[in-house]
């Protein structure tokens, strides 16, 4: 995008390198199943990336990632959690942006019903699996078209970049993006087996 987009984001917005799309998604609103979140934190993944599910080529699980941009890629992990991505790039690129955290700006009661009655508003979608749960996403939502469900904020946000969370490979690339100072960004946690951070 040459200019900062407004309104509903078209498929062309997503049909770019996930590393370019990711920071542009900060501040955007995603709506599904009665809940709207303002995105505060994302991570980019792509096929030439050892930490990406698409790294070893298409599989049954990652089929959606290799399809056209603008669709939702939902995966199940750790035997109990779902996480959601927006597919990016040209058809077949195997790229996506993981939605890592957000602020529930509409449908708070619906989100709390899914997350639990005692969950603080701040924690409703602060974390990728929490966000997916708040949105009511599970394996049935894998492959769902998200065009029309993602809206630009219209107001610029201050983006910061740093290493991704929870991965053991390619932990040095700064493909995690978040809104500076936003309290709805998830707590950073490095993968236990990730190599030590590079010295300055």
User: Euclidean distance between the first and final Cα of the chain, in Å?
Assistant: 33
Helices (H), the chain: 11-14, 18-25, 108-115, 128-134
Closest residue by Cα to residue 136 from 42, 37, 30, 32: 32
Nearest to 176 by CA among 100, 122, 124, 78: 100
Of 4-12, 26-34, 152-160, 167-175, the segment contacting DNA by CB under 7 A is 167-175
Per-residue binder mask for DNA (CB under 7 A), 29-58, x = binder: --------------x-x-----xxxx-x--
Instruction: Tell me how far apart the alpha carbons of residues 133 and 156 are, in angstroms, rounded to a whole number.
Output: 27
- In angstroms, the CA 184 to CA 38 distance is 9
Here the tokens at position 113 are: 């019903």
- Give 45 or 137: the residue with its C-beta nearer to DNA: 45
Residues 106-145 contacting DNA, CB under 7 A: 115, 119, 123, 127-131
Among residues 39, 64, 65, 111, the one that binds DNA under rule CB under 7 A: 65
Among 190, 99, 107, CA closest to 150: 99
Stretch that binds DNA, among 3-11, 25-33, 78-86, 149-157 (CB under 7 A): 78-86
Instruction: Pick the binder of DNA from 59, 90, 138, 145 (CB under 7 A).
Output: 59
Q: Rank residues 7 and 17 by Cβ distance to DNA and give the closer one.
A: 17
Interface residues toward DNA, by CB under 7 A? 43, 45, 51-54, 56, 59-62, 65, 73, 75-81, 83, 85, 96, 98, 115, 119, 123, 127-131, 164-169, 186, 189, 191-193
């Amino acid at each position: 995008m040459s200019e900062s987009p407004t309104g509903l984001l078209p498929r062309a917005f997503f049909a770019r390198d996930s590393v370019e799309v990711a920071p542009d998604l900060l501040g955007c609103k995603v709506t599904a199943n009665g809940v709207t979140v303002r995105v505060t934190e994302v991570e980019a993944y792509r096929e030439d990336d050892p930490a990406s599910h698409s790294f070893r080529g298409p599989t049954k699980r990652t089929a959606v990632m290799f399809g056209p941009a603008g669709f939702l890629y939902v995966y199940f992990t750790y035997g109990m959690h779902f996480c959601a991505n927006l597919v990016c790039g040209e058809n077949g690129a195997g790229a996506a942006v993981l939605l890592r955290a957000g602020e529930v700006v509409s449908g708070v009661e619906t989100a709390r019903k899914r997350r639990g009655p005692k969950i603080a508003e701040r924690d409703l979608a602060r974390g990728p699996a929490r966000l997916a749960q708040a949105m009511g996403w599970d394996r049935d939502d894998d492959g769902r078209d998200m065009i029309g469900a993602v809206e630009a904020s219209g107001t610029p946000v201050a983006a910061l970049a740093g290493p991704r969370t929870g991965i053991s490979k390619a932990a040095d690339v700064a493909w995690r993006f978040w809104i500076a100072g936003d309290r709805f960004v998830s707590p950073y946690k490095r993968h236990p087996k990730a190599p030590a951070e590079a010295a300055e």
